[in-house]
Amino acid sequence: MKNAHKHLFAFLILFYLLNIINTHFVTTELLNQHITVFPRNFLGEINAFLGNFAALTLIVMAGFLFIKRVNMRILYLIIVTLLLNIVVFGSAIFTKYYQTVFSLREMTLFKNPAVDLGLTIFVESVKDLIMNYRIVIFIPFIVMVIYAFIVRHYYKKDGLDFGEKGVMFKSNLLNGTILAGAVTVGLLTLSLFNISLKSKWPIFAERPLYGVQKAGLYNYYLGQACGFNFGDNVIMEVDIRTYKDYNKNESLYENIFGEKFSNILYKEDAEIDFTINPMMDKESLNGIFKNKNLVLIHLESFNHFLLNEDGPYLDDTYLSTFKKLLKESYVIENFYTNIGLGKSSDAEFAVLTGAHPLGDSTTYWNYNKTPYVFADLATLFNDRYSVAFHGDVRLFYNREKVYDKMYGFDNFHYFDPTEPYFEETQNGFWLFPDHVHTNLPNKVWLTENDLLEWLKIAYISTSENKGEKGFYYPILMNPHTPFLYNPTKEENLRFKKGDIDISEETRRYLNYETYMESFFNKFIEISYELKDTVYIFYGDHGSGIPEKDYYAIMGLSANSNNAAKLHFEYQQEMLKTIAFIYVPDDDAESLDIKPGLFKGVQKRVRSQVDIYRTIIELFDLQTNNYYFGVNLLSKEHTFAIDTKHFNIITDDYFIIGKKMIKDINYKDAYRVLSDDPKKDVVELYKYVLRFKNKLDHAIKENAYQYLKND
């Protein structure tokens, strides 16, 4: 064989090897720090390799059937390699912001009209490409271009025409055989993955990650594009009777830990120091806030570690106003997010419905296809005016439709300076013309301080003018990844470049302190004008900062002895946010924060779905619908579910759910947090897995409306 032909075969082999190896920048923790992968095994790796090989073969053959000349075939493979490298790069960036892999089934994520945000993420991604050496993802393309010149050189050296028809794949019979074989292998590997998926991972969270690991990245996406069904759309009959075992809207129930509690929170069951809360003198705490207004405040991207003063950088002066507010509040300090791919919208969904999000899709956008029915808080607050506020356009996360139709809020005020005025508009740009400032010039996000002004105006209109109680729901937008749009001048920021060995994005996150302190000072000012009001704050999700940045901020140093422990700590802290209840004393004459009438600390694990039940019971809302969370104030133990990854947090364990699918050794799958665990970790995991599987199907089949007490 001539040297030119040898190099041509080598070029084709390189195409396969380089592009298959490149998938590991998405599917391995070694090359992708933003994900935690499923346990790997030999058969799974072989299946993924064969799947990727089959998918690449289909791509090669699809081009070669029409492209016959050597030079054009080489150009075709180079272009395909570039496109595949872009797919890998895009997937790696997606994992950075979502900590899981992308699914073609979930294109609704791109429906959000966020041009500015999308542009900044793109710019940050390009920076990441250069600064964090992600340019190596494009090595296959670079190598293929260089080797194309080598092939061309040998064609000329051997006296061959580089534009001649290819020496490979001339036989129609051979081509048909290869094509049929690639289709067969692709379908077989997808089928084997699907069988494994159904037996080992019955919930919807992280199925795409399981797919790209077990079936091969290219094969999985090609299968999705061709309509291969991985069980996502299978209709499952929901047996309502099986949900009764999980229902906590009962006068007496027993939880997974063998504890007995009730939907009435008695003093003896409450985690409250009554010596500092003398006004809580009733036998039952149900209905203690019945005659008060509720302001439910959604905090954006707040990680609990920002309050940790053990490290060398975040002392008692960091977020000092916020910390003063916490001292006058009842603080849930071991509080976790339940979000999935819907991120902020999933946090809203969990809080307003008490339901765990699916994890792999966006419920708000799914509402366009499935008109979900829930006994949500806005509906249950049928004795008062309910209004939500958000500082972005009405179509963001489909909120206008969801807040009107699914939740039943009386009004939803959004912010869109580009939208023309129309009669009965709910656009705050027209309704509150004196309070329409944006963080930076020409940016569309409303400042959080103006959002509080909208709240005050709505309160005055409802409470003072009409004498009605209200349910007010301001949803904060900042600090939003990648933590730009901070109006604070550089000289007024706490951390300057080089103060801490962290990424620029993380530094921007820490420096949002000044902006948030301004917000909390504004909140304190506003609280003097709102009477008879309970404030409940909760964080929607964490920041997702890199692991090394977290260690640097907290002054931690990972070594071979503590690396595993610190990695668990990091993962847990990225899920840990905060919630607290502030009930100010309206009679106080303090010039600073009003003293709180309800103080304390809840150290037990709680999460966003628990806020739903707590509000129902403390405000004495009437519902016979099932709910599954616990009261924030009770002594009951529970679990928190990170629905995006199916991590499980209890007072005893932090469990990485996807690593529990192994049958032999679980030591790397969980971390013990207490000296005396109340439940075996495997038994607990299997219970929560069944629980989440059932709740997933209840949402999929719109069955929450039927989960009711007789």
Torsion angle of alpha carbons 367, 369, 370, 371, nearest 10°?
Answer: 60
Give 268's contacts (C-beta < 8 A, 6+ positions apart): none
pLDDT score for 572: 96
pLDDT in tens, 469-489: 999 999 999 998 888 888 888
Which H or E run includes 253?
Answer: strand 253-254
pLDDT score for 112: 66
Neighbours of 433 (CB within 10 A): 8
Report the range of poorest mean pLDDT among 3-12, 156-165, 389-398, 514-523. Answer: 156-165
Neighbours of 135 (CB within 10 A): 13
pLDDT-derived band of residue 145, with 50, 70 and 90 as boundaries?
very high
Instruction: Report d(CA 512, CA 519) in Å as an integer.
Output: 11
At 91, the amino acid letter reads: S
Q: Is the pLDDT of residue 240 over 90?
A: no
Instruction: Report d(CA 87, CA 389) in Å as an integer.
Output: 37
User: Which CATH number is correct for 240-706, 3.40.30.10, 3.40.720.10, 3.40.50.300, 2.60.15.10?
Assistant: 3.40.720.10
Tokens at residue 108, please? 């609704």
Tracing tokens 């179509």 back to the chain, one arrives at 395
Instruction: Report d(CA 115, CA 442) in Å as an integer.
Output: 12
Contact between residue 507 and residue 514 where contact means Cβ atoms under 8 Å apart: no
Which H or E run includes 243?
Answer: none
Instruction: Report d(CA 225, CA 701) in Å as an integer.
Output: 24
Phi-psi region of 411 (alpha: psi -120 to 50; beta: other; left: phi over 0): beta
Give 272's contacts (C-beta < 8 A, 6+ positions apart): 280, 285, 330, 600, 633
Instruction: Report d(CA 191, CA 174) in Å as an integer.
Output: 25
Compute the 3-state secondary structure of the chain and give helix, strand, coil in percent, each to the nearest 5.
45, 10, 45
Give 176's contacts (C-beta < 8 A, 6+ positions apart): none
Neighbours of 475 (CB within 10 A): 27
pTM to 2 decimal places: 0.92
pLDDT score for 15: 95
In terms of Cα–Cα distance, which of 628, 613, 696 is closest to 244? 628
pLDDT score for 116: 60
Q: Is the dihedral of CA 536, 642, 478, 307 positive or negative?
A: positive
Mean pLDDT over residues 664-668, rounded?
73
Note the Cα 520 to chain centre separation in Å: 25
Instruction: Report d(CA 342, CA 431) in Å as an integer.
Output: 29
Instruction: Report d(CA 555, CA 121) in Å as an integer.
Output: 29
Q: Is the dihedral of CA 183, 185, 187, 190 positive or negative?
A: negative
Q: Is the pLDDT of residue 441 over 80?
A: no
Torsion angle of alpha carbons 579, 643, 612, 385, nearest 10°?
Answer: 90
pLDDT score for 175: 74
At 197, the amino acid letter reads: L
Task: Tell me how far CA of residue 411 lies from CA of 167, 231, 473, 474, in angstroms.
Answer: 69, 38, 10, 12
Question: HSE (CB half, 13 Å, CA atoms) of 440?
Answer: 10
Domain map (residue ranges) of the chain = 3-225, 240-706
Report the range of poorest mean pLDDT among 58-62, 170-174, 243-247, 413-417. Answer: 170-174
Tokens at residue 622, please? 């009437």
**In 277-384, where do the E strands start and end?**
293-299, 330-336
Q: Is the dihedral of CA 211, 213, 214, 218 positive or negative?
A: positive
Q: Is the dihedral of CA 487, 489, 495, 498 positive or negative?
A: positive
Report the b/e string of 375-399 with b at 16+ CB within 10 A. Answer: bbbbbbbeebbbbbbbbbbbebbbb
Contact between residue 332 and residue 607 where contact means Cβ atoms under 8 Å apart: no
Which H or E run includes 179?
Answer: helix 172-200
Contact between residue 272 and residue 600 where contact means Cβ atoms under 8 Å apart: yes
Give 138's contacts (C-beta < 8 A, 6+ positions apart): 82, 85, 89
Give 590's contacts (C-beta < 8 A, 6+ positions apart): none
Contact between residue 477 and residue 448 where contact means Cβ atoms under 8 Å apart: yes
Mean pLDDT over residues 332-341, rounded?
95
pLDDT score for 110: 64
Q: What is the DSSP string of 37-62?
A: PPPP-HHHHHHHHHHHHHHHHHHHHH
The mean of the pLDDT values for the chain is: 90
Report the range of poorest mean pLDDT among 38-52, 102-116, 195-209. Answer: 102-116
Torsion angle of alpha carbons 122, 126, 131, 132, nearest 10°?
Answer: 70
Q: Is the dihedral of CA 273, 278, 279, 282 positive or negative?
A: positive
Helix (H, G, I), strand (E, B) or coil at 710: coil
Omega within 30 of 0 (cis) for the link into 482: yes
The length of the chain is 710
Report the range of poorest mean pLDDT among 21-25, 222-226, 663-667. Answer: 663-667
pLDDT in tens, 284-319: 999 999 999 999 999 999 999 999 999 999 999 999
At 347, the amino acid letter reads: A
Tokens at residue 657, please? 């759910």
Contact between residue 553 and residue 311 where contact means Cβ atoms under 8 Å apart: yes
Task: Tell me how far CA of residue 372 lies from CA of 110, 307, 390, 593, in angstroms.
Answer: 21, 37, 22, 41
Maximum distance among all alpha carbons in the chain?
Answer: 98
Helix (H, G, I), strand (E, B) or coil at 475: strand
Tokens at residue 570, please? 């990091």
Instruction: Report d(CA 39, CA 50) in Å as an integer.
Output: 19
pLDDT score for 215: 93
At 330, the amino acid letter reads: Y
Q: Is the pLDDT of residue 620 over 80?
A: yes
Mean pLDDT over residues 663-677, rounded?
84
pLDDT-derived band of residue 117, with 50, 70 and 90 as boundaries?
low
Residues linked to residue 165 through DSSP beta bridges, in sequence order: 69
Q: Is the pLDDT of residue 517 over 60?
A: yes
Residues linked to residue 414 through DSSP beta bridges, in sequence order: 427
How large is the C-alpha radius of gyration of the chain?
28
Task: Return the top range by mean pLDDT from 4-8, 13-17, 228-232.
Answer: 13-17
Helix (H, G, I), strand (E, B) or coil at 350: helix
Q: What is the DSSP string of 385-444?
A: EEEEEESS-TTGGGHHHIIIIIS--SEEEB--TTSPP-TT--BHHHHSTTS--BSSTT--
Q: Is the pLDDT of residue 612 over 60?
A: yes
At 580, the amino acid letter reads: F
